[in-house]
Amino acid sequence: SRTYVVTGSASGVGASTAALLRGRGDRVVGVDLRDAEVEADLSTPDGRAAAVDRVTTLTDGRVDGVVACAGIAAPVPKTVAVNFFGVTRLLAALLPALERSDAPRVAVVSSMATLQTVSDELVAACLADDEDAALRVAAALADQGPEVGYLSYPSSKRALSRWVRRECVTPAWAGRGIPLNAVAPGTVLTPMTSSLLATPESAAMVDAAVPMPLHGHQSPESVASLLLWLTDPANTHVTGQTIYDDGGADAVLRGDDV
Ligand code: NAI
């Protein structure tokens, strides 16, 4: 059996991923704000450091897979802290533990929102690994109201998918034999989207932005099962990809752009 670290394990996609892994006999160390083996706030450097310490203790410093699901979609700077730096900084700190596995694998949860309008300045600050600058840019966006502040979400996810693509081929990842990929879901039925889908009017707005001709809204398990494959030893050569697991939203929105 393998040992997996799953962030966001208390809810939605993370909870489903943890359940599927445990159901097949793997060990899961969940990381979340509460209701997890490791209770930590991934939005801050201190919280990330505490999470890594506790994970290292619980796993004896050996981790076979990491699935990073924790994320928020609020029009505030914290969205960038959790969705980008809460993933990239955590993963960098877990590399020594991954290196001790025979078949280390990592997958993160991005979003079809990578296809939406972003703040190029915010994406650049993330990719420059400059958290202070990114938080400043995100705060300036939030000051302009929720609609502009929301740019933090697609920007954090586009930066994350691009980070995966850049990092995956470096000595840190390919050199250690670690596939690194992202899954980009459409509209998943979790607490994150329940209020958005609560009225027919707001649901229609979501569906206009996220067209899902194949099967419509998706279950968290639909995302979790792909995360399981990407982090399985069976995945030897898929790396650097953002796999749109979105009922066709990417195919509708980008059309021939492949
Ligand atoms: P959710 O809200 O059900 O679960 C997210 C989990 O992350 C929660 O348990 C929450 O406590 C945890 N979390 C939030 N901030 C944290 C922090 N600072 N430190 C530690 N844990 C923290 O959301 P859902 O839908 O399961 O989302 C999972 C991922 O999927 C997120 O990255 C989200 O952006 C992404 N996603 C979700 C979509 C959807 O339609 N629900 C669509 C596309 C992507």
> What's the ipTM?
0.99
User: What domains appear along the chain, each with residue ranges and CATH number?
Assistant: 3-245 (3.40.50.720)
Contact (Cβ atoms closer than 8 angstroms) between residue 160 and residue 88: yes
Rounded (10°) angle between helices 131-142 and 120-127: 160
Q: Is 35 exposed, middle or buried (0-12, 13-18, 19+ CB in 10 A)?
A: exposed
Residue 130 has pLDDT above 90, yes or no: yes
Contact (Cβ atoms closer than 8 angstroms) between residue 184 and residue 112: yes
What number is the average pLDDT over the span 122-129? 98
Pocket perturbation via mutation, ligand 1, pick of 17, 28, 29, 32 by most ligand atoms within 8 A of CB: 32
What is the pLDDT at residue 258? 76
For ligand 1, atom 26, the nearest C-alpha belongs to 12
What number is the average pLDDT over the span 33-40? 98
Contacts of residue 114, defined as CB under 8 A and 6 or more positions apart, other chains included, come to: 154, 157, 158, 161, 184, 242
Ligand 1 pocket member 90 (CB < 6 A): no
What number is the average pLDDT over the span 200-228? 98
Ligand 1 pocket member 33 (CB < 6 A): yes
Pocket perturbation via mutation, ligand 1, pick of 80, 109, 207 by most ligand atoms within 8 A of CB: 109
What is the pLDDT at residue 245? 98
Query: What are 78-108's pLDDT values in tens digits?
Result: 999 999 999 999 999 999 999 999 999 999 9
For ligand 1, atom 3, the nearest C-alpha belongs to 12
Confidence of residue 257 (pLDDT cuts 50, 70, 90): confident
What number is the average pLDDT over the span 113-124? 98
Token pair recorded at residue 98: 């991954």
Atom of ligand 1 nearest to the CA of 82: 18
CB-based burial, 146-162: b 16+ in 10 Å, e otherwise = eeebbbbbbbbbbbbbb
Share the mean pLDDT of the chain.
98
For ligand 1, atom 37, the nearest C-alpha belongs to 188
Ligand 1 pocket member 185 (CB < 6 A): yes
What is the pLDDT at residue 162? 98
For ligand 1, atom 21, the nearest C-alpha belongs to 32
Contacts of residue 188, defined as CB under 8 A and 6 or more positions apart, other chains included, come to: 12, 13, 217, 218, 219, 220, 222, 223
What number is the average pLDDT over the span 207-215? 98
Please give the DSSP secondary-structure letter assigned to residue 82: I
Could you give the CA distance from residue 192 to residue 74 in angstroms, rounded to a whole number?
Answer: 10
Contact (Cβ atoms closer than 8 angstroms) between residue 188 and residue 220: yes
Query: What are 17-34's pLDDT values in tens digits?
Result: 999 999 999 999 999 999
What is the pLDDT at residue 110? 98
Residue 242 has pLDDT above 90, yes or no: yes
What is the pLDDT at residue 174? 98
What is the pLDDT at residue 47? 98
Could you give the CA distance from residue 178 to residue 105 in angstroms, rounded to a whole number?
Answer: 5
The active-site residue, picked from 4, 150, 153, 244, is 153
Could you give the CA distance from residue 164 to residue 162 in angstroms, rounded to a whole number?
Answer: 5
Angle at CA of residue 49, ends 87 and 121, nearest 5°: 40
Ligand 1 pocket member 38 (CB < 6 A): no
What is the pLDDT at residue 73? 97
Count of Cβ atoms closer than 10 Å to residue 93 Cβ: 16
Which strands, in side-by-side order, build the sheet including 3-7?
38-39, 27-32, 3-7, 65-68, 105-109, 180-185, 242-245
Ligand 1 pocket member 94 (CB < 6 A): no
Ligand 1 pocket member 69 (CB < 6 A): yes
Contacts of residue 137, defined as CB under 8 A and 6 or more positions apart, other chains included, come to: 119, 121, 122, 125
Token pair recorded at residue 236: 């030897």
What is the pLDDT at residue 39? 98
**Does the annotation count 244 as an active-site position?**
no
Query: What are 146-182's pLDDT values in tens digits?
Result: 999 999 999 999 999 999 999 999 999 999 999 999 9
Ligand 1 pocket member 12 (CB < 6 A): yes
Token pair recorded at residue 29: 């160390």
